[in-house]
Amino acid sequence: MTALACDVAVVGAGPAGLMAAERIAAAGHTVRVFDRMPTPARKLLLAGRGGLNLTHSEPLERFVTRYGEREAVFRAALAGFTPDDLRAWAAGLGVETFVGTSGRVFPVQMKASTLVRAWLRRLEGLGVVLHTRHRWQGWSEDGALRFTDAAGTETTVQARAVVLALGGASWPRTGSDGAWTDLLVARGVDLAPLRPSNMGFEVPWSDHFRERNEGQPVKSVALTVAGRRVKGEFVVTATGIEGGAVYALSAPLRDMVERDGWAPLGLDLMPDTDESVLRKRLSGRGAQSLSTFLKKTVNLTGVRYALLREFASKDDLNDAAGLARAIKGLSMPVVGVCGLERAISTAGGVRFDAVDEALMLRNLPGVFVAGEMLDWEAPTGGYLLQGCFATAVRAADGVLARLAAS
């Protein structure tokens, strides 16, 4: 058995854990970071392979609304670490950023690996010690953190404060497997069940539709559920749908499916054209086939036409008013939610009632929580990473205040 000691132990070497470690070490404290994977920031690196979306450039007043019912919590957290602060932090690592056409913020080089390498160099320079292949096993009887390595050897760590940043349960192959929930429940920490967020959904396609359209992107449409409407695009999968517009509605859509067993997802195939205009254009079809007629009159072709045929009634397809109505308001039945292992992020986790304003667990003094372990969710677009960084800074500042007072 190995026994270690430090001012602060950080459990989890993802964005939240590394940010907390940096801020605490920069204040002069000894910090050790523990992660069960062979290398740090696995999920960040995987997410950033096609371009790392760090944050979003929209005004902060709009930004905070992306956190839904947790808006008040993130209004406070983002005040301590804004999207501009995140861009400045990246620039300090030598990673310049730019704002894309959608308002999303990316590194100029579009790579997570460059940022992670520079970040690890900075942490090493601050004296942060990284322990990989160390799985957290909870606490010993004397209050020390317990870890086991790949060989089963146990390490105990006595720390003046602890930051837990173990992520959620999505993408478990990167290390976020949610195993920490049992350890905290055993200590009386109140948790909301872990649930998928920003995930795909199951739709009962006909064999004919699936065989011809699996993998096809559906662009320039609008989706509506529970009074919320999002313009964008999605992709047809073998079992249903996934993609940006779907992820933006994933929370209310998931909640409805879990409650009722299914949900009607509204689909507007031509969101920029009024129904009254469509009715006029679609009159006088004559003997033309429906596909030819729609291609000539409103340029409705490909997978969008296939979706119309999949879900519109026969009566609507043979009537100008009904056809216009169907194009503007198809009802796509959603019958299932893709699991956590396929989700981009996780909802649920440590309830905010279980932590104080500094994100310290109320019944475990000196133990702070940051990142996706907390019970919040946000859409893709930079809001997820920004939330992880902002809660890490808040937890780190809480640690520093506690250490200063002790």
pLDDT in tens, 122-174: 999 999 999 999 999 999 999 999 999 989 999 999 999 999 999 999 988 88
Q: Are residues 32 and 146 in the same domain?
A: yes
Q: Are residues 144 and 216 in the same domain?
A: no
Q: Are residues 32 and 84 in the same domain?
A: yes
User: Which residue range forms the structural domain that includes residue 218?
Assistant: 201-337
220: left (phi over 0), alpha (psi -120 to 50) or beta: left
Q: Are residues 188 and 270 in the same domain?
A: no
Asked if 13 and 132 touch (Cβ cutoff 8 Å), the reply is yes
Q: Are residues 242 and 322 in the same domain?
A: yes
Q: Are residues 329 and 400 in the same domain?
A: no
Partner residues linked to 146 by β-bridges: 138, 156
Final residue belonging to a domain, choices 321, 337, 353: 337
pLDDT at 163: 99
Q: Are residues 115 and 244 in the same domain?
A: no
Give me the number of domains the chain comprises.
2
Asked if 250 and 258 touch (Cβ cutoff 8 Å), the reply is no
Of 197, 199, 202, residue with least CA distance to 332: 202
What's the rounded Cα separation, in Å, for the pair 303 and 169?
A: 33
pLDDT at 285: 85
294: left (phi over 0), alpha (psi -120 to 50) or beta: alpha
Q: Are residues 380 and 257 in the same domain?
A: no
**CATH number, domain containing residue 189:** 3.50.50.60
Q: Are residues 210 and 109 in the same domain?
A: no
Q: Are residues 61 and 138 in the same domain?
A: yes
CA distance readout (Å), 102 to 22, 57, 98, 186, 367: 30, 9, 11, 44, 38
pLDDT string in tens for the chain (406-residue length): 899 999 999 999 999 999 999 999 999 999 999 999 999 999 999 887 778 999 999 999 999 999 999 999 999 999 999 999 999 999 999 999 999 999 999 999 888 999 999 999 999 999 999 999 999 999 999 999 999 998 999 999 999 999 999 999 998 888 889 999 999 999 999 999 999 999 999 999 999 999 999 999 999 999 999 999 999 999 999 999 999 999 999 999 999 999 999 999 999 999 999 999 999 999 988 889 999 999 999 999 999 999 999 999 999 998 999 999 999 999 999 999 999 988 999 999 999 999 999 999 999 999 999 999 999 999 999 999 999 999 999 999 999 999 999 8
pLDDT tens profile 170-203: 988 888 899 999 999 999 999 999 999 999 999 9
Q: Please give the single-letter amino acid code of residue 19.
A: M
Q: Are residues 63 and 120 in the same domain?
A: yes
Number of H helices, E strands in the chain: 16, 19
301, burial (CB in 10 Å: exposed 0-12, middle 13-18, buried 19+): exposed
Final residue belonging to a domain, choices 337, 368, 389: 337
Final residue belonging to a domain, choices 316, 337, 358: 337
pLDDT at 49: 78
Q: Are residues 169 and 246 in the same domain?
A: no
